[in-house]
Amino acid sequence: MPVAVRRAEPADLPVLPEIEAAGDLLFASVGIVFPPGPTVIEEAIRDGARIYVAGDPPVGFAAVRERDGGTHLEQIAVRPEHGRQGVGTALMDRVIADAAGGPITLITFRDVAWNGPWYARLGFTVLGAASHGPQLRGLWEAEFAAGLHRLGARVVMARPGRPPICGLSPDRALRRRRPARRPAGGGRTPRDGRPATRSRRARARRSARASW
Higher-scoring residue by pLDDT: 176, 15: 15
Predicted pLDDT at 204: 39
Task: Measure the CA–CA gap between 211 and 159, rounded to whole angstroms.
Answer: 16
Using alpha carbons only, give the angle 136, 140, 143 rounded to the nearest 5 degrees.
140
* 79-113 pLDDT tens trace: 999 999 999 999 999 999 999 999 999 999 999 99
Q: What is the mean pLDDT of the chain?
A: 83
pLDDT class of 197 with cuts at 50, 70, 90: very low
Is-above-0.75 flag for pTM?
yes
Residue 163 has pLDDT above 80, yes or no: no
Sheet arrangement for strand 5-7:
5-7, 50-54, 60-67, 70-78, 104-109, 154-159, 125-126
